C-alpha cells in the first residue's frame, strides 16, 4: 500500500487539518502503515514541473494529493474518501495484522 503525499504529513501551523496528514492518520487508525511517498511539487503546476507526481497523474488523471494506492491496485483520491476506505477496510479484517505471528 502506498500513500502519495505532498511534502510530508506534518501539521500545518494555523491550519486545522492537513489532508495528507489526515489520510495517513486515518490509515494508521485502521491498522495500516502505508509506504508514504513524498511527491513535492504542487498540484496546479504543469506536468513537466511535477516529475515526482507522474505516478499520481497516471493513476488518477490529476496531480493533487493525497492519493492512496491499495494493495489490489485501486487508486483513491481525496482525504475523506481515503479515510472512508480505511474505516470500511480495517487491516485486522483483511488478515494482515498479526498474520505472520
Ligand X SMILES: N[C@@H](CCC(=O)N[C@@H](CS)C(=O)NCC(=O)O)C(=O)O
Closest CA to 39 of 28, 29, 49: 49
Give yes or no for residue 78 binding ligand X (CB under 6 A). Answer: yes
Q: How far is CA 82 from CA 13, 33, 50, 79, 92, in A?
A: 23, 14, 22, 5, 17
Toward ligand X, which CB reaches closer, 1 or 97?
A: 1
Selected from 27, 30, 79, 86, the binder of ligand X by CB under 6 A is: 79
DSSP string, 16-40: S--HHHHHHHHHHHTT--PEEEE--
Q: What does the per-residue mask of binding to ligand X show for 25-64, with x meaning CB under 6 A?
A: -----------------xx--------------------x
Give yes or no for residue 83 binding ligand X (CB under 6 A). Answer: no
Cβ-proximal residue to ligand X, closest one: 43
C-alpha span between 77 and 68 (Å, rounded): 6
Binding site for ligand X (CB under 6 A): 6, 18-20, 42-43, 64-66, 78-80
Amino acid at each position: 500500500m502506498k500513500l502519495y503525499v505532498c511534502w510530508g504529513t506534518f501539521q500545518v501551523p494555523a491550519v486545522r487539518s492537513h489532508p495528507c496528514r489526515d489520510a495517513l492518520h486515518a490509515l494508521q487508525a485502521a491498522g495500516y502503515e502505508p509506504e508514504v511517498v513524498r511527491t513535492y511539487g504542487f498540484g496546479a503546476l504543469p506536468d513537466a514541473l511535477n516529475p515526482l507526481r507522474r505516478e499520481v497523474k497516471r493513476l488518477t488523471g490529476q496531480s493533487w494529493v493525497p492519493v492512496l494506492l491499495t494493495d489490489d491496485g485501486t487508486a483513491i483520491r481525496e482525504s475523506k474518501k481515503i479515510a472512508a476506505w480505511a474505516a470500511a477496510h480495517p487491516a485486522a479484517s483483511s488478515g494482515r495484522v498479526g498474520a505472520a505471528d
